[in-house]
Chains A and B, each alone.
Chain A
């Protein structure tokens, strides 16, 4: 399948290769970065939206 697609790209194989290589580079870089992050930092980041003081002290009504 991959071979067929690359072949059908004619004389612009470089384009498919360029796309593949840049994507893999970016992807691996991101994965590497992500796994180098320390746990405390990730914990802080993931809790950023959860500051409840940001919102009004409201809960859903139970009446209907």
Chain B
């Protein structure tokens, strides 16, 4: 063909991201295995602050989501984008900045999270300087991607690229709004939103992080790599278009299904449920589109490990996206929420959908990047079967555990008492399931390591084709497109695509969130609910630092089984000073919203020193460092000032006397402890005192008198 242009695809950046995917997969999953075993053998917390479950759990989730899957996304995007657009990436420098910036962010997360530097918001735990770095690197990625699209040689944008664009724009919006904070210091910040609003924004973010980080980019990869591996076009391109628009429109609304039966207003919960159920349609449309792409080539699935991985990945996607909507139905959610069912569910997504798709993609990519056959197809097949087995051994015990524990929580005797009044009984009952889960995770990991070996040998046998030659005619800049429908017009225009996607996802966000921000209209104020004292505030920050929210909720749902066990159900007005909210999403230990005044100060003291001494058989780790560390009051005044800026009603100039108030209250707690024969040098200065003060305050504001709603 005349007028062909020759250019080179950048494979080096693809290889770099692929290596990072593998390396952080090795680390992230290893941490996952460690915390799974910690739940069975608490001794594995090693009485060491930076190795405790509460701090390592966010490390595991962040490493798997943003390091393993994140790098997996970039691997696939950088490979497919260049080829679908018939051009090299716009700028090698931006590609490189993106790569190294992202790895630096991951490393800073790997350091900061074990140190307890966290904002405590699930999947957005990183502190504000890292949040800013993420924004910068994400924008670099965006510029690189859009400029590549603009200088493309292919006129039309294949559907995979639409998914990449929607991913970019939505993650940008989510990241900004969920991380709005006012810095107190380099490591600490005050959340702009409080209580119910914070919860809604967090789960609007959290749910859509699943949607637009773990799902839409991977659907883009599916639409590219699945036809590639099967060597036939996608089953229905028309269906993929409908899949795209319906999915991005509906997904954004479903966040509140994480907050059913909480203090979130009913209307928001209902919206979350309805849209979650609607999600089944586009999700299954996408799944079927993927699976039906293999029509006529199922014989290849028998021999090609890449296709095997893809089949299990897409099937897991289908299972998880059916399960998700079902769990959003209130009656089912009442049983499964806060249990291990949720953990099983997300791992069908993570291990099945993201993991298996990544593996398939890597097995497909490495031979091509290094221009050599895969070292061993047999090993890849072993990996497939071991990985699939690992998923089953991981998820099934957790479904079992979740169901069992929930029914135990709700079991009443004929006399009307809770049969399992001691929460711990319901934990020890499911420990065997935790054991099998940890083994299941390990099995999956063994498969992963086999892949690492196989790909290592493949890379060693070949040589990276860093710049791969290709040719294509240039794009017709001013082509006349008469008589075409505006659908094609959108497809040719990346910026229009960006704008339309942004508008669609913003509709859901705005309609759902803006009314919630009208705080006075939506949150009934309760007269007796007062701001935290400086000591309680510092105690709360220790609670956040130690990741207590990973195992303890602070949200008593309006069920008899919960009000009997914990006390009065939680009211939205009780959380108006909670920045950030700490409702939690999992009860590995009991809910703590009404724990204030339930036990003596000395009980908490002994319990934090050695949980076993107060509750034999517990799996809670020890926190000995709280008894060694002196409480830092360096930023107490600054925290109070920030809270005042956000309308927390402390008296004028309270920041000046906050520390003296803190010390006075600490002395009282210490005196209380001394009454129970707890003597320790400088006790009133220790962190444990602040934590006790906070725990004793929890949920007590409306305990004394019945809640008086002064303002609707």
Interfacial residues, chain A to chain B (CB-CB below 8 A)? 5, 8-10, 12, 15-16, 18-19, 22-23, 26-27, 30-31, 33-37, 41-42, 44-51, 53-56, 58-64
Contact = CB atoms under 8 A, between A and B. Distances in A.
B186 interface: no
B531 to A, nearest CB: 30
A33 B490 CA distance: 11
B313 interface: no
A54 B231 CA distance: 13
Contacts of A18: 511
Contact of B470 (A9, A12, A15, A54): A54
B368 interface: yes
Contacts of B375: 61
A40 to B, nearest CB: 12
**Interface extent on B, as a size class?**
35 or more
Contacts, number: 133
B84 interface: yes
Contacts of B232: 50
Contact of B83 (A37, A46, A54): A54
Contacts of A44: 156
A38 B668 CA distance: 79
Contacts of A5: 270, 273-274
Given A19-B253, A56-B367, A58-B372, A49 B224 contact: yes
A50 B231 contact: yes
Interface of B: 9, 80, 83-84, 154, 156, 158-160, 223-224, 227-228, 231-234, 237-238, 241-242, 245-246, 249-250, 253, 266-267, 270-271, 273-275, 278, 304, 306, 367-369, 371-379, 465, 468, 470, 485-488, 504, 507-508, 511, 515
B242 A34 contact: yes
A44 B228 CA distance: 15
Query: Secondary structure of the A side of the interface?
Result: helix
Given A16-B270, A19-B275, A56-B371, 18 more contacts: A9-B266, A15-B515, A16-B274, A19-B508, A19-B511, A26-B245, A30-B241, A34-B241, A46-B227, A46-B237, A49-B160, A49-B223, A49-B233, A51-B83, A56-B367, A58-B367, A60-B304, A64-B378
A36 B249 CA distance: 21
Of the listed residues B84, B234, B270, the one surrounded by the most CB atoms of chain A closer than 10 A to its CB is: B270
Nearest to B238: A34
A33 B487 contact: yes
Contacts of A59: 373
Nearest to B380: A60
B237 A61 contact: no
Contacts of A27: 242, 245-246, 249
Nearest to A61: B373
Contacts of B368: 55-56, 58
B83 A30 contact: no
24 contacts: A5-B274, A9-B270, A15-B271, A15-B511, A19-B274, A22-B507, A26-B245, A26-B246, A31-B242, A33-B485, A34-B238, A37-B485, A37-B487, A37-B488, A48-B84, A48-B154, A50-B231, A50-B233, A51-B83, A54-B9, A54-B83, A54-B470, A62-B377, A64-B378
Contact of A56 (B250, B271, B378, B468): B468
A40 B232 CA distance: 16
B238 to A, nearest CB: 5
A10 B515 CA distance: 13
Nearest to B239: A34
A58 B373 CA distance: 6
